[in-house]
Amino acid sequence: MKQKMRTIVPVMLAIAVAVTLTAGGCAKTEETTTDTTSEETVEEVDENWTTATGKGDIADEAISGTINGEEVTIKNVSITDWDGEYSWSFSTLAPESTCGVVVDDGAVNFSSKALQAGTFAKKMENEIEFSDYHAYYHYEQEDGTPMSVNVDWGATIVVEKVDTEGKKVSGWAKFDFSDEKTALEGSFEADLCE
């Protein structure tokens, strides 16, 4: 496993005090301040995954968007562990019970070889090993037949916290598909299923 380190250099708080004499001989003091950035070390887990947990520019509201051109609200997010690989589902329907089966829904599905606090990022144009990560979406056609769509995709998934005891994963996600019919963005809390 490759690991690279990137360090963001800290910017120290700068306060500049200028003292100028006015015509009457009085001293005038001006203060200016500069924002600070704390030091943060980010490890690269692989070409697409880092340990960064900041949401970046992803909207901080409940995940929603479009699936096959229709506006949707995501009602259930689940992540299922299949022998060390993870199957993520962002579904328009909630199951009757936690980690239950959902049918007749629309969903964005994502598979990953990793589940940890950090950020997964893939640009639409980037090639990626299908066995490591892949995404697709599905929806119900008018006649009730399910349709699965596999086109080029881009995603940013930020996992803020993995709670293995409470079986929850929280964070933010953004998905885009090249056919421009499906896109999701926002915060989520997922059930961690086995």
Alpha-carbon gap, residue 80 to 99, rounded angstroms: 8
What is the reported pTM?
A: 0.77
Alpha-carbon gap, residue 117 to 52, rounded angstroms: 8
CB of 93 within 8 A of CB of 75? yes
Q: What is the pLDDT along the chain (194 residues), one digit of tens a residue?
A: 444 443 333 333 333 333 333 344 433 333 333 333 345 577 877 778 889 999 999 999 999 999 999 999 999 999 999 888 999 999 999 999 999 988 899 999 999 988 999 999 999 999 998 888 999 999 999 898 999 999 999 999 999 999 999 999 999 999 999 999 999 999 999 999 98
